[in-house]
């Protein structure tokens, strides 16, 4: 499900220096200025909320930390508010307990919050970046409602997103789209082109360079290629992925951490798979990343986790496989070929049932 205001967009937007012309129809052109004047009003779709929303500038990649403005909300409607900002930026409107968090592009003109009657999503319109962003996400939502084939969804998503990214290659919306979609169109090489389409000043940013490098890594560890080995040391012992992969068994490798709730929630599925297929040629191995070994061992004991673990991987394994979010589950063929990535829950069960003839 493509979701507006994803965490990637919220955490990784950079500020820019552009001026937007109010349009209200999703079209417009942009220019430059040092100081902008904007107003914001409209409906955030929460009739039971009265209070203050804070506007965070995502320039420092921590939208809940750098508060630059605040607005009053009464019964879900923003009390019209007008002020100045130093430059256009991608911001986040939120309350202090973070139960409300909406992405908005702050630019010259009247910014209006609206609620989609069908989805309930909040969109901001009235200025060019907000119009173009809202228009795009509405198209993506409609695509998901009308298209059922996953491959076609990815292709059509690319065809919708990339032109908007190119149009805004030198402003915050372009960077937002590159970070949000480059790894979610089913083609890592194409994802690299998203970053390459950005203007030079964005390409020079460390975050953009790191995300581009991650996609390059995924190009070399994608489905159909042989596995890449790595070695981890802990308490004088060296453990390698090749201790398990490429040795004649199908291998499910679970990249996880003890503090990761979704990772722990996936463990029962992995245990069931392991118990069901271990005598038919399936090996499951946990790869503990970004975690303290003692915490990993404690979680293994708490979850009654029966399969072996590679402890203390930290960033070693995730750097090799271009992983920036966990859990990540990779399935390897008996000869070490990568058969699938991103398997979770029912997807994993279906893939194993296919392999073992059920």
Same domain, 241 and 141: no
pLDDT at 8: 37
Q: Is 211 a member of any domain?
A: no
Contact 55, 70 (CB under 8 A): yes
* CA distance linking residue 26 with residue 314, whole number of Å: 44
Same domain, 142 and 252: no
Q: Is 196 a member of any domain?
A: no
Same domain, 146 and 38: yes
* Residues β-bridged to residue 328: 255
Same domain, 340 and 251: yes
* CA distance linking residue 331 with residue 342, whole number of Å: 9
Last residue of a domain, one of 135, 167, 199: 167
* CA distance linking residue 328 with residue 349, whole number of Å: 15
Across the 358 residues of the chain, what is the mean pLDDT of every consecutive 10-residue run? 40 31 36 78 94 84 75 96 92 85 94 92 96 96 90 94 96 92 89 95 88 91 94 96 97 97 95 95 96 96 95 95 92 97 91 90
Range of the domain at 235: 231-355
DSSP result, 114-155 = EE-TTT--EEEESSHHHHHHHHHHHHHHHHHHH---HHHHHH
Please state the domain count of the chain.
2
Instruction: Find the angle CA(203)-CA(205)-CA(210) to the nearest 5 degrees.
Output: 90
Q: Is 301 a member of any domain?
A: yes
Q: Is 181 a member of any domain?
A: no
pLDDT at 22: 31
DSSP label of 243: G
pTM (whole model) above 0.75: no
Q: Is 326 a member of any domain?
A: yes
Same domain, 117 and 26: yes
Last residue of a domain, one of 141, 167, 193: 167
For the chain, the maximum distance between any two Cα atoms, rounded to a whole number of angstroms, is 68
Q: Is 217 a member of any domain?
A: no
Q: Is 172 a member of any domain?
A: no
Distance from the first to the final alpha carbon of the chain: 28
Q: Is 323 a member of any domain?
A: yes
């Amino acid at each position: 499900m493509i979701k507006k205001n994803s965490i990637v967009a919220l955490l990784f937007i950079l500020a820019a220096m552009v001026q937007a012309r109010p349009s209200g129809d999703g079209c417009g052109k942009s220019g430059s200025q040092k100081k902008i004047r904007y107003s914001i009003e409209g409906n955030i779709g929460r009739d039971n909320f009265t209070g203050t929303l804070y506007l965070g500038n995502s320039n420092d990649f921590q939208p809940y930390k750098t508060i630059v403005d605040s607005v009053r909300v009464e019964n879900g409607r923003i009390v019209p508010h007008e002020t100045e900002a130093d430059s256009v930026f991608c911001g986040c409107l939120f309350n202090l307990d973070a139960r409300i968090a909406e992405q908005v592009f702050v630019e010259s003109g009247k910014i209006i919050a609206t609620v989609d009657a069908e989805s309930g999503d909040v969109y901001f319109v009235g200025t060019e970046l907000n119009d173009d962003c809202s228009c795009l996400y509405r198209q993506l939502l409609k695509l998901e409602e009308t298209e059922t084939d996953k491959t076609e969804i990815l292709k059509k998503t690319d065809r919708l997103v990339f032109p908007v990214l190119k149009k805004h290659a030198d402003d915050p919306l372009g960077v937002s789209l590159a970070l949000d979609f480059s790894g979610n169109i089913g083609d890592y090489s194409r994802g690299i082109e998203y970053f390459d389409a950005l203007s030079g000043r964005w390409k020079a940013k460390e975050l953009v360079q790191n995300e581009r490098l991650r996609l390059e890594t995924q190009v070399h560890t994608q489905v159909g290629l042989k596995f890449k080995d790595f070695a981890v040391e802990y308490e004088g012992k060296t453990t390698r992925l090749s201790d398990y992969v490429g040795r004649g068994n199908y291998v499910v490798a679970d990249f996880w951490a003890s503090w990761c709730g979704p990772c722990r929630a996936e463990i029962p599925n992995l245990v069931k798979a392991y118990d069901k297929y271990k005598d038919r040629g399936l090996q499951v191995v946990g790869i503990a990343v970004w975690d303290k070994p003692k915490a990993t061992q404690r979680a293994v004991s708490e979850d009654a986790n029966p399969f072996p673990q590679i402890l203390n991987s930290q960033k070693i394994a995730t750097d090799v496989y271009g992983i920036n979010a966990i859990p990540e589950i990779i399935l390897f063929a008996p000869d070490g070929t990568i058969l699938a990535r991103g398997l979770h829950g029912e997807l994993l069960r279906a893939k194993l049932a296919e392999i073992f003839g059920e």
